[in-house]
Amino acid sequence: MIRTVKLKRVPRHIGIIPDGNRRWAIAHGLSTEKGYRYGIEPGKELFREGVKSGVSEISVYAFTEENTRRPKEQIAAFKEACVEFVGWMRSRDVSLLVVGNSDSPSFPDELRDLTAPRSCCEGRIKVNFLVNYSWRWDLGCAARNGKLGQGVLAGIGSSGVSPIDLIIRWGGRRRLSGFLPIQSAYADIFVLDDLWPDFKIAHFHEALRWYAEQDVTRGG
């Protein structure tokens, strides 16, 4: 059993890049699309641990517009996994926001009602779930909303998402992959080589301990 360790600083907002589902599936003798289902339970575990640790906001990179170029079996699988996870989240004490291009046919119909900020219950924690997301779409919203000037940040597609303090990426890749570029501008990034379906609560606490030792200045 992992005990929650008291830290001198806990990130207010954590970004999660849960990479490695396809590689995990192949390593376990499964077809690539089977890997997405094994990412659901880790997401639930991380959410519960985030609440216990005092995190106020979590943003999860579910799937991107670029991901929709994959074979149709994979597209169907990660959309199904997203709908199942969000369905579980709806019954939690959470403020839930789904961020992504909802005008696209690739956006799951079941999630369209969550694309505007709203709360379920009191919302002990805020969860932003990125679905059919692209940084091009995100920043392009400012142009479409006529806010390329002083109010540009209020016009982006992810305007309801606050600045990120810590990004945790599973799967060993040292890159953001287009994840919320505005909110990630001053985020510290912690990378785990373990694939997302191999998530352990110890991973989360390792990242929190690492963050607590960083010199956070945001350029000041």
Which tens digits make up the pLDDT trace of 184-201? 999 999 999 999 999 999
Q: What is the CATH number of the domain that holds 134?
A: 3.40.1180.10
Confidence of residue 118 (pLDDT cuts 50, 70, 90): low
User: Per the domain annotation, does 174 fall within a domain?
Assistant: yes
User: Per the domain annotation, does 135 fall within a domain?
Assistant: yes
Domain span at residue 169 reads 13-212
User: Per the domain annotation, does 168 fall within a domain?
Assistant: yes
How many independent structural domains does the chain possess? 1
User: Per the domain annotation, does 42 fall within a domain?
Assistant: yes
Amino acid identity, residue 117?
Answer: P
Residue 142: what pLDDT?
Answer: 86
User: Per the domain annotation, does 1 fall within a domain?
Assistant: no
Please write the tens of the pLDDT for every residue from 78-97: 999 999 999 999 989 899 99
Please write the tens of the pLDDT for every residue from 64-78: 999 999 999 999 999
User: Per the domain annotation, does 220 fall within a domain?
Assistant: no
DSSP characters over 108-177: -GGGGGGSS---STT-SEEEEEEEEE-HHHHHHHHHHTT-SSTTHHHHSTTTTSPPPSEEEEESS--S-T
User: Per the domain annotation, does 2 fall within a domain?
Assistant: no
